[in-house]
Structure 1
Amino acid sequence: MDEYYQAVQSLPDWLAEPLGRMPPAVAEQIHELRLREGCSLSFTIGGMPCPAAQISGCPHFLRSCVLTPPQMEEIFYSLCGGSVHTHQAELAQGYLTLPGGHRVGVGGQYFVHPQQGVVVQTVRSLNLRVARRKAAALPPELCRALEGHFIGMLLVGEPDSGKTTLLRSAAAFLAGQGRTVTVVDERQEVWPEGGPAGGEALDVIAGLPKGRALQMALRTLSPHVILLDELGGMEEVEQLEQGFYGGVNFVASLHASTLEEAAHRPQVERLTLRRMLRVLVLLEGRQSPGRVKEVRWI
C-alpha cells in the first residue's frame, strides 16, 4: 500500500475516507496535500500544485470541498492525535510529525506565551507531506567521492527534490563499506518507521534537536561519518566542527536552488572557511526527485 494512504488516515474520518479512495495510480504520485481555510483541496504532483477538481478519478466530495474554520480546527486536532500539547515542541517550529514520518507544516496565527513559548493560536493552513521510504541510485562520481576521505559533503536541492532519499542511499552505501555511520534524524523523516531496514549497520538518533543529537553521537557512538537531514543553525555547524577535529566526515542536506546560492549561506561560509567542506552535490529538482545533476569538489 502506498504511503499516501497511511498519511491521510491521521485526518478526521469524513476527510480520510474520500482521500483513501484516490486511485492508486494517482496516490503514488502525490507528494503533498494542502488544506487551507476557505479554499478547495490541493495536491502537489510532480512538483506542481494540482487542485482536486483537476485530478482524474478524484472523489466528488474532494472536488467540491471548501474548508471552513471549524473544519480546519477539527483537522488540526485530529492530526495532533487529540493532544496538541504533546506536539508543542514541534509546533513551536511550525510543524508536527505523524506516524510513519509524514510531516505537516502549520500556517496560521502564532503568539509567544511567557511560560509556554511559541503557541499556535489559529490554524489557517496545513501542508501534509507524504514520507516515502525509497532509495535513489548513486551516480558513479558520487560513489567515488563517498569512498574517500571527503571531510564534508552537502546535498543541495530545492524542496521536494529528493535530498532525504539521496541521504538515505548515501548512508546505506557508507555502511556497506564497513564505515561506522550515525544518522541524525530529528524529525524521523530519513527512516519514518524509526530505523533502517534490510539490516544496514547504522546508528540512528531520532527525535532530538540536531545540535544535541550531534553532541551525543560524537561523545558516545564514535562514528566515522555523520549524516543529518537539513543543516540548520550555527549550533549544528559548531558540533560538526568538533567532529572535524576528531577526523569525522559528514554528509548533510541543505535547501538551495543552486550551488552558488548554497555557498552564500552563513553555515556554508563557515564550513568553507574552516576547510570542512569538500564536496557539493546538486540535485536536479522536484521534477526528478533523487537524481543528481552535478558533483563539485571545492
Structure 2
Amino acid sequence: MHPTLLTLFPAALRSVLERIAGEAVQTLEEIRIRENRPLEIGYGSRSAFVRPDGSLTDDYRSAFTPDKEECRAFLERVTNHSLYAVEEELRRGYVTVPGGHRIGLAGRTVLDKGSVAHLRDIAGFNVRIARARVGFGAQVLPGLLDLQARTIRHTLIVSPPQQGKTTLIRDLARCISAGEWHHPRALGWRGRKVGIVDERSEIAACERGVPTFDLGPRCDVLDACPKAEGVMMMVRSLSPEVIAVDEIGRPEDAAALNEAIHAGVRVLATAHAASIADVFARPVLAQLAADGVFGAYVLLSRSGGQVEHRIVSAEEAAMEAAGRTRMRVGAVPRDAPLPVVTQPAPVTVKTRPMPAIRSPDSRALGDEDHA
C-alpha cells in the first residue's frame, strides 16, 4: 500500500493494515471500515476479514473491529480536519485523497428540499485503491481506432462498479496522448491532444494541478471540475482532439458531449452498466446510443481475478438491445462465472457520420496526414 495513503489511518488501524501480506496487499482494491464492525478488504476477485495480526479470515467474529474513536480520527485525517472544506464532496458521498484514492462514506443524510445537502454521523468508509495498469489500454485500443481519421471512434466503456473502467480510460488516454496505437496500420501516427475532465480526481490524481499518474505528453486535465462544464471549457480554450470523462449519465453530460462531437472532438467516456441492454435501459445513455453518438462500446467483466473485455460496434449494440428481454442478466458478483448468452436477431441501426479531426498542427503538415 502507498505510504501516503497509510498515513491517513490512525495508529491502531494502520498497524493492522501494515501486517497484511502476500497476494492480498499486492492486489488490494478496497478497505471497508465500519464503526464497531469487522474490518474487511477486497482484493483480486475475493474479500476477507482482517484479524488484528493482519492475517485474513472468513470468520468475521475474529476480525479487528475499529471503534468510534478510530473512525472519528480517520474522518478527521481524510477531511484534513475540516468538514466544511469538503462539503460538496460530502454531499456526493465520497472524498478523494492524494493519489486518486476515493473514499466512500456512509452515515446519516441531511436533506434540503428533498435533496441531499450534507452527510453527518459518518460511521462507514470504503477506501478504493487507485492503481495504474500501464499496458491495459494496449489490449483494447486497436479495436477502437478510426483508421481513416487516424484517431479513435467515439467510445463508451461500460461495466458494473469496480471492474476497471477508470483504470482503462486512464491508460487509453496515455496511449492516445503518447501515440502508442498498437496497430500495424497506425505506424507513424502522432499522439492526439487529450483533454481529461476529472470530476472525481480519480483519473489523473492531480496534486496542485499536476497529474500524479502518467497520462502521456499531450494531455491536459481539468481537476475536480463538473463534467458538463468541464467539457465546454475544454472545447473553448484547450483545443483537445479527444476528450475523456468518467461516469456519464446525467442529461447535462449528454448535452456537453454532443457539443464536443459537433466541434470535431472525439469522445472517450465511461458509464455504469452491466450489459448493452442496461445501456439502452438508462434514459440518457439510451438517447445517446439511439442518436448514433458512440461508434464503439467496450464491455468489461472480471472472471477469476482477470479483467476481460469485449468490443461491440454500434450496429452490434443495437442488435443486442433488440434482444434485451432474453439477454438481460444484470450485474453478478465478480467471482461468479460469466453467463452464456445467445445472439439476437439482426435489426436496423441508425449510424452517425464522424466529423473530421480539427488539429492545427496536423493542418500545418498538409492533407496527406488525414489520408
With structure 2 as the length reference, what TM-score do the two structures score?
Answer: 0.71
* Runs of 4+ in structure 1 over 6 Å off: none
Change (3 A) 1:67 1:34: same
Q: Secondary structure at the match of 1:284?
A: strand
| Contact 1:37 1:72 (C-alpha < 8 Å) held by counterparts | yes
- Counterpart in the other structure of 2:15: 17
1:56 Cα offset (Å):
7.0
- Counterpart in the other structure of 2:227: 210
2:259 is the alignment partner of 1:242: yes
1:142 Cα offset (Å):
3.8
2:197 is the alignment partner of 1:184: yes
Letter in 2 for 1:248: V
Question: Per chain length, whose mean CA-contact separation is higher, i.e. which structure has more relative contact order (CA < 8 Å, sep 6+)?
Answer: 1
Q: Secondary structure at the match of 2:145?
A: helix
Change (3 A) 1:8 1:113: farther
- Counterpart in the other structure of 2:172: 170
CA distance in 2, matches of 1:159, 1:7: 22
Once the two structures are superposed, residues 175-212 of structure 1 have per-residue CA deviations (whole angstroms, 9 ceiling, x without a partner) of 21421211111122112244253752111111111111
CA distance in 1, matches of 2:234, 2:98: 25
Change (3 A) 1:261 1:282: same
Q: How many matched pairs?
A: 293
Change (3 A) 1:287 1:259: farther
CA distance in 1, matches of 2:198, 2:169: 11
Letter in 1 for 2:241: H
CA distance in 2, matches of 1:199, 1:171: 8
Letter in 2 for 1:28: Q
| Contact 1:46 1:286 (C-alpha < 8 Å) held by counterparts | no
With structure 1 as the length reference, what TM-score do the two structures score?
Answer: 0.88
- Counterpart in the other structure of 1:155: 157
Higher Rg of the two aligned structures:
2
- Counterpart in the other structure of 1:285: 302
Q: Percent identity?
A: 26
Once the two structures are superposed, residues 63-110 of structure 1 have per-residue CA deviations (whole angstroms, 9 ceiling, x without a partner) of 542233343223222221211111111111000011111110001101
- Counterpart in the other structure of 2:240: 223
For structure 1, the 5+ residue unaligned runs are none
- Does 135-144 or 249-258 show the bigger shift? 135-144
Letter in 2 for 1:79: V
Counterpart mapping for 1:133-144 below 5 A: 133-138=132-137, 142-144=141-143
Letter in 2 for 1:191: A
For structure 2, the 5+ residue unaligned runs are 180-189, 316-371
Once the two structures are superposed, residues 15-39 of structure 1 have per-residue CA deviations (whole angstroms, 9 ceiling, x without a partner) of 1233123225421111000011231
